[in-house]
Structure formats: C-alpha cells, structure tokens
C-alpha cells in the first residue's frame, strides 16, 4: 500500500474519480438504452425524444473524459441513421 501522504491522497482521489466516472458511464448507458428500446419498438417520436436527451449527456461524458469523442460521434451517427431509417419505413 501507500507509504507516504501523497500516495495516500492519490489513492483517495482515484477512488473518488473512479466512482464519478462509473456513475457517468452508467447514466450514458441508461440514456442509450432508452433510445434503443424506442427504436426496437418502432416508436419514432419516442426515439427522437430519447435521442435528443441522450446527445448532451454523451457530449458531457466526452468533456469529462469518460468517453472518447470519436466513440460518441460514431454512436450518435449510427443512432441518427437508425431513426432516419425508421422514418422512411
């Protein structure tokens, strides 16, 4: 374990940050699940509303360093395409 005060502090900080990041990641996944469920059910209006709620949450995760920008961009692009395909069908 830690042998000096700065190492002990680093451990405390890491634990706090890990917990926050885990909560943020879980929150993003919840928002994504809502979009997926609406898409699977074929409910366009619900999917659009859930997508609009998920976008800022995902961008916030990027800003906090929880997710990578390209990952979020890819996911948003694919969800958007699925919503658009639902409109055409």
CATH code where residue 59 lies: 1.20.58.110
Residue 70: give the domain boundaries: 5-88
Computed on alpha carbons and rounded to an integer, the radius of gyration of the chain in Å comes to 18
Distance CA 19, CA 83 (A): 33
User: Taking the model in full, what pTM does it have?
Assistant: 0.86
Tell me the average pLDDT across 44-73: 97
- The predicted pLDDT at position 2 comes to 84
- The predicted pLDDT at position 87 comes to 74
Domain count, the chain: 1
């Amino acid at each position: 374990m830690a042998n000096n005060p700065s190492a002990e502090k680093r451990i405390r900080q890491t634990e706090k940050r890990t917990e926050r990041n885990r909560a943020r990641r879980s929150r993003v996944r919840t928002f994504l699940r809502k979009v997926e469920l609406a898409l699977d059910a074929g409910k366009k209006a619900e999917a659009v509303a859930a997508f609009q709620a998920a976008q800022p949450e995902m961008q916030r995760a990027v800003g906090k360093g929880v997710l990578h920008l390209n990952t979020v961009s890819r996911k948003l692009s694919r969800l958007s395409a699925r919503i658009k395909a639902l409109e055409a069908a």
